[in-house]
């Protein structure tokens, strides 16, 4: 009798401890990981460039942290997403370029969070074929997706939605949060926008937003690429390569305006419904007429194109910012804000006229860097500024760290949890970059390199063997290649040494570069 009473007491005690334990687990933070596609940090007002206003994205920084040195490891869409999911460099996770297949069977942080008791969802653009693994719910765009009336693939099943992609993605995310989420579990939601990816098609209500704004191009807009022969080979010039009809919507009925991709432009236009097309026409038809009467040439045409590009690009961001606002408001209303980590980032940066360009790919700052803003009221002080060299490689281990779940040993990124909370200043002094998609669109050579807080060393290879060295303190816009400059020979040597060290640390090598090149050429059926 006595014995059974003791065991009963013991049982009660165990239950109480169990409940506390469960309570603690329930406190694992939720994670809302927001990513957009090709969103330049220059186009987020929290970064202070004065181009546009993004009050909702800025809220994340005001109430949390802004990262001034956030970088990707490979400045292109699908590879960047693969790095973010796996916490491993491209040459390890295998998705080195937009062409290669991604093996969903490998580990990713969403799978780890599922094991740790999370409910997980992937919503919006993923740009990686196959059913996303690690997610209890997925509703994703096939490939690049469409701005107007897009198809989505919900848990493997394709369906078409009527409306504007950015708003639809937000609606799906809110629906998941409100109606599909299990209240008794912590959650991970990847909420990933297609915008502001090319061809920058704004939402109806924002078509006219920047009509009255004249943008001044960056100081190096008319760059002549002196000492940078690889940069000179680019095919991403606003003046030379941006298509009037396809990119800038000068789809005139008479077909007089020259455009290489008129057919593709027509397809995008045809996808709209009558109401959408009426708003579109009301905005673009007068611009087409104006263009035809102005007939800008040379420098005037370059500036005209730059302005048209900026107006559309920034207008698409306004809808992204609205969506962020809707999600943050919901977290407030539902009482979830305190225990939810919110991250805003992009799959890479983007050129807004720097070096005369659009697109990304190069290891130069504007596309190598990416915006990162993060809020977690429990650990991050409002107004925090993080200057350390953080990479998208670090998201996976960081999220696992916050979830108090072990970080698998083969993950290459590092948790920056203690860096953001200010608990440590111990951090890496160099980051590594790789780019592989060449020969290909926009003509950016294969390259790799390292960046420290002050210097950058880049090696372009394939049908070139070119080194570049920059002193970012003296030359932040990277106009002056110092490679073999006698004044920098010691720095050059040091950077070479570090380059070898970093490549060894992550397990990259010339052999791997060669293997990846051969796989790529075979896939593209190119003889080399
Ligand atoms: C498309 C774009 C390119 C862009 C790539 C990669 N052309 O091919 O301009 O560089 O995507 O972008 S388009 O005519 O289809 O718009 S990524 O972000 O998906 O990697
Ligand atoms: Ca992208």
User: pLDDT per residue over 464-495, tens digit each?
Assistant: 899 999 999 999 999 999 999 999 999 999 99
Helix (H) or strand (E) holding 457: strand 455-461
**Has residue 17 got a pLDDT over 90?**
no
To which residue do tokens 């090709």 refer? 38
Ligand 1 pocket: which of 39, 144, 248, 359 to mutate (most atoms <8 Å of CB)?
A: 144
Quickly list H helices, 55-195.
55-62, 77-86, 90-93, 109-115, 165-175
- pLDDT value at residue 82: 98
The answer to whether residues 38 and 182 belong to one domain is: yes
* Chosen domain end from 424, 459, 483: 424
Q: Which of 342, 346, 411, 326 has its CA nearest to residue 377? A: 342
**DSSP string across 279-294:** HHHHHHHHHHHHHHHH
* Chosen domain end from 276, 308, 340: 308
Token output for 336? 């979830």
**Residue 208, domain member (yes or no):** no
Q: Looking at ligand 1, which atom is closest to the CA of residue 37?
A: 18
The answer to whether residues 144 and 248 belong to one domain is: no
Q: Looking at ligand 1, which atom is closest to the CA of residue 199?
A: 16
The answer to whether residues 48 and 161 belong to one domain is: yes
**Residue 464, domain member (yes or no):** yes
Cα-flanking dihedrals φ and ψ of residue 137, to 5°? -140, 135
The answer to whether residues 253 and 357 belong to one domain is: no
Which residues constitute the domain of residue 459? 434-523
* Chosen domain end from 308, 327, 362: 308
CA quadruple 463, 467, 471, 475: dihedral positive or negative? negative
To which residue do tokens 């709209």 refer? 272
What does the alpha-carbon distance between residue 11 and residue 7 come to, in Å, rounded to a whole number? 6
Number of other residues whose CB lies within 10 A of the CB of residue 112: 23
Q: Looking at ligand 1, which atom is closest to the CA of residue 77?
A: 20
CATH number at 323 reads 3.40.720.10
Q: Which of 37, 51, 39 has its CA nearest to residue 210? A: 51
The answer to whether residues 330 and 287 belong to one domain is: no
Helix (H) or strand (E) holding 494: helix 489-506
**Residue 273, domain member (yes or no):** yes
The answer to whether residues 505 and 460 belong to one domain is: yes
Write b or e for each residue in 252-269: b if 16 or more Cβ atoms lie within 10 A of its Cβ, otherwise e. beeeebebeebeebeebb
The answer to whether residues 303 and 354 belong to one domain is: no
Minimum CA distance residue for ligand 1 atom 12: 77
Q: How many domains does the chain have?
A: 3
Cα 362 to ligand 1 centre (Å): 14
Q: How confident is the model at residue 527 (pLDDT cuts 50, 70, 90)?
A: confident
- pLDDT value at residue 368: 98
Residues around ligand 2, an ion, CB closer than 5 A: 37-38, 77, 347
3-state secondary structure of 72: coil
- Judge if the beta carbon of residue 234 lies within 6 A of ligand 1: no
Tell me: the pLDDT tens digits for 395-411?
A: 999 999 999 999 999 99
Q: How confident is the model at residue 18 (pLDDT cuts 50, 70, 90)?
A: very low
Task: List, in order, residues 6 or more apart from 422 with CB less than 8 Å away.
Answer: 381, 384
Q: Which of 89, 85, 93 has its CA nearest to residue 133? A: 85
Helix (H) or strand (E) holding 304: helix 298-333
3-state secondary structure of 166: helix
Minimum CA distance residue for ligand 1 atom 20: 77
- Judge if the beta carbon of residue 198 lies within 6 A of ligand 1: yes
- pLDDT value at residue 83: 98
CATH number at 440 reads 3.30.1120.10
**DSSP string across 2-55:** HHHHHHHHHHHHHHHHHHHHHHHHHTSPEEEEEEESS--GGGSGGG---S---H
The answer to whether residues 294 and 320 belong to one domain is: no
Tell me: the pLDDT tens digits for 174-211?
A: 999 999 999 999 999 999 999 999 999 999 999 999 99
The answer to whether residues 137 and 49 belong to one domain is: yes
**Residue 172, domain member (yes or no):** yes
Cα 82 to ligand 2 centre (Å): 12
- pLDDT value at residue 2: 42
- pLDDT value at residue 4: 47
- Judge if the beta carbon of residue 97 lies within 6 A of ligand 1: no
- pLDDT value at residue 21: 42
Q: Between residues 13 and 454, which one has the greater pLDDT?
A: 454
Task: Determine the length of the chain.
Answer: 528
Cα 198 to ligand 1 centre (Å): 7
Ligand 1 pocket: which of 75, 100, 146, 198 to mutate (most atoms <8 Å of CB)?
A: 198
Burial of 421 (0-12, 13-18, 19+ CB in 10 A): middle
The answer to whether residues 135 and 152 belong to one domain is: yes
What does the alpha-carbon distance between residue 148 and residue 165 come to, in Å, rounded to a whole number? 6
Pairing of strands 390-391, 455-461: unpaired
**Residue 276, domain member (yes or no):** yes
pTM of the model: 0.95
Pairing of strands 187-192, 30-36: parallel
Cα 197 to ligand 2 centre (Å): 7
Cα 444 to ligand 2 centre (Å): 15
- Judge if the beta carbon of residue 81 lies within 6 A of ligand 1: no
**Has residue 20 got a pLDDT over 70?**
no
Residues 430-440, mean pLDDT to the nearest whole number: 97
Q: Looking at ligand 1, which atom is closest to the CA of residue 347?
A: 18
Q: Looking at ligand 1, which atom is closest to the CA of residue 38?
A: 18
- pLDDT value at residue 464: 87
CA neighbours closer than 13 Å in the CB half-sphere of residue 15: 6
What does the alpha-carbon distance between residue 425 and residue 414 come to, in Å, rounded to a whole number? 14
Contact, 421 vs 438, CB < 8 A? no
Q: CA-CA distances (angstroms) from residue 513 to 14, 95, 104, 460?
A: 56, 13, 22, 12
Contact, 61 vs 48, CB < 8 A? no
CA quadruple 423, 59, 370, 53: dihedral positive or negative? negative
Q: How confident is the model at residue 526 (pLDDT cuts 50, 70, 90)?
A: confident
Token output for 133? 């693994």
The answer to whether residues 447 and 378 belong to one domain is: no
Number of other residues whose CB lies within 10 A of the CB of residue 471: 17
Token output for 240? 């030379």
Task: List, in order, residues 6 or more apart from 274 with CB less than 8 Å away.
Answer: none
Q: Looking at ligand 1, which atom is closest to the CA of residue 236?
A: 9
Burial of 350 (0-12, 13-18, 19+ CB in 10 A): buried
Minimum CA distance residue for ligand 1 atom 2: 198
Ligand 1 pocket: which of 78, 83, 141, 197 to mutate (most atoms <8 Å of CB)?
A: 197
The answer to whether residues 304 and 319 belong to one domain is: no
Q: How confident is the model at residue 27 (pLDDT cuts 50, 70, 90)?
A: confident
**Residue 67, domain member (yes or no):** yes
To which residue do tokens 């925090």 refer? 384
Q: Which of 514, 228, 528 has its CA nearest to residue 362? A: 228
Cα 58 to ligand 2 centre (Å): 21
Residue % of the chain over a pLDDT of 70: 95
Token output for 250? 């000068």
Cα 492 to ligand 2 centre (Å): 31
**Residue 69, domain member (yes or no):** yes
Q: What is the mean pLDDT of the chain?
A: 95
- Judge if the beta carbon of residue 125 lies within 6 A of ligand 1: no
């Amino acid at each position: 009798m006595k014995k059974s009473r003791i065991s009963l007491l013991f049982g009660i005690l165990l239950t109480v401890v169990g409940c506390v334990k469960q309570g603690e687990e329930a406190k694992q933070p939720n994670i809302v990981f927001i990513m957009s596609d090709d969103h330049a940090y220059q186009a987020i007002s929290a970064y202070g460039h004065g181009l546009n206003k993004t009050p909702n994205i800025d809220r994340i920084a005001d109430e949390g942290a802004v990262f001034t040195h956030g970088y990707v490891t490979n400045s292109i869409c699908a590879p960047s997403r693969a790095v973010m999911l796996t916490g491993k460099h491209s040459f390890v996770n295998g998705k080195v370029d937009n062409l290669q297949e991604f093996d969903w069977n490998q580990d990713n942080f969403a799978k780890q969070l599922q094991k740790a008791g999370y409910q997980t969802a992937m919503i919006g653009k993923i740009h990686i074929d196959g059913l996303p693994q690690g997610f209890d719910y997925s509703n994703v765009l096939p490939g690049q997706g469409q701005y107007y009336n897009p198809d989505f693939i919900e848990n493997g099943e394709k369906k078409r939605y009527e409306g504007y992609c950015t708003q639809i993605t937000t609606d799906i995310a809110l629906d998941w949060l409100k109606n599909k989420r299990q209240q008794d579990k912590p959650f991970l939601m990847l909420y990933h926008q297609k915008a502001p990816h090319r061809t920058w098609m704004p939402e109806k209500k924002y078509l006219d937003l920047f009509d009255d704004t004249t943008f001044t191009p960056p100081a190096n807009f008319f760059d002549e690429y002196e000492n940078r022969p690889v940069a000179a080979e680019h095919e991403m010039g606003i003046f030379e390569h941006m298509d009037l009809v396809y990119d800038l919507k000068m789809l005139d009925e008479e077909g007089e305006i020259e455009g290489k991709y008129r057919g593709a432009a027509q397809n995008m236009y045809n996808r709209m419904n009558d109401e959408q097309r009426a708003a579109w026409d009301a905005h673009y038809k007068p611009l087409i007429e104006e263009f035809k009467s102005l007939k800008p040439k040379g420098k005037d045409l370059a500036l005209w194109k730059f302005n048209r590009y900026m107006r559309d690009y920034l207008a698409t961001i306004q809808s992204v910012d609205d969506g962020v606002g809707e999600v943050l408001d919901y977290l407030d209303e539902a009482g979830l804000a305190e225990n939810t980590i919110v991250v805003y980032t992009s799959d890479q940066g983007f050129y807004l006229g720097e070096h005369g360009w659009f697109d990304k790919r190069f290891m130069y700052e504007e596309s190598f860097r990416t915006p990162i803003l993060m809020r977690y009221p429990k650990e991050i002080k409002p107004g925090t500024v993080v200057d350390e060299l953080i990479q998208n490689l670090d998201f996976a281990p960081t999220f696992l760290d916050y979830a108090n779940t072990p970080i698998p040993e083969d993950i290459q990124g590092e948790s920056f949890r203690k860096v953001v909370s200010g608990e440590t200043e111990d951090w890496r002094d160099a980051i590594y970059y790789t780019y592989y998609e060449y020969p290909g669109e926009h003509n950016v050579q294969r390259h790799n390199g390292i960046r420290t807080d002050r210097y950058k060393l880049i090696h372009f290879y394939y049908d070139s063997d070119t080194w570049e060295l920059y002193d970012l303190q003296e030359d932040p816009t990277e106009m002056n290649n110092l490679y073999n400059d006698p004044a920098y020979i010691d720095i050059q040597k040091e950077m070479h040494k570090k380059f070898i060290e970093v490549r060894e640390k992550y397990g990259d090598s010339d052999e791997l570069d060669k293997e990846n090149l051969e796989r790529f050429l075979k896939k593209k059926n190119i003889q080399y």
